[in-house]
Amino acid sequence: MKVRYIVAVSAVAIASVMVYRLWDRPVQASTVSCDNVSQGAAVAALEHDLLQQDASKFNKARILIGQITYDSEAISIGLSSVSIPFSLSGRVTREYVAQVSCMDTSQIEYSEK
């Protein structure tokens, strides 16, 4: 009876460790990829995406490179993304924050500041 109990407890412990490692893997992978993403690469991805975007999302007819302004000191690299505060100038200047994914810099989420 004790042997079966020890085997059952061991199997549960091994399964728990395997689930934890599988769950923890994406965070580790994105952390490693954030170590490999520079501010310059994230900004270049942001500029490329903004110029290709449907500008109406930002209340503009078209976005030009000269309308994009960001403070390089405000850019922060996190565990899974690079946060880039930026503004788009025009008749009305609006401020936004872009979250550039470290795993795939073409994946960018925008929010208004």
Q: What are the residue boundaries of the structural domains of the chain, listed by start?
A: 2-112
Above pLDDT 90, what percent of the chain?
Answer: 51
Question: How far is residue 84's CA from residue 74's CA, in Å, rounded to a whole number?
Answer: 7
Above pLDDT 70, what percent of the chain?
Answer: 72
pLDDT in tens, 70-100: 988 999 999 899 999 999 998 888 999 999 9
pLDDT of amino acid 33 = 75
- Give residue 111's pLDDT band: very low, low, confident or very high (50, 70, 90): very high
**Burial letters 10-24, b for 16+ CB under 10 A, else e:** eeeeeeeeeeeeeee
Q: How many CA atoms lie within 13 A of 34 on its CB side?
A: 17
pLDDT in tens, 5-29: 554 444 444 544 443 444 454 444 4
Phi first, then psi, for residue 100 (nearest 5°) are -90, 120
pLDDT in tens, 49-75: 999 988 998 988 899 999 999 988 999
Mean pLDDT of all residues belonging to the chain = 80
- Give this prediction's pTM: 0.70
Question: How far is residue 1's CA from residue 23's CA, in Å, rounded to a whole number?
Answer: 33
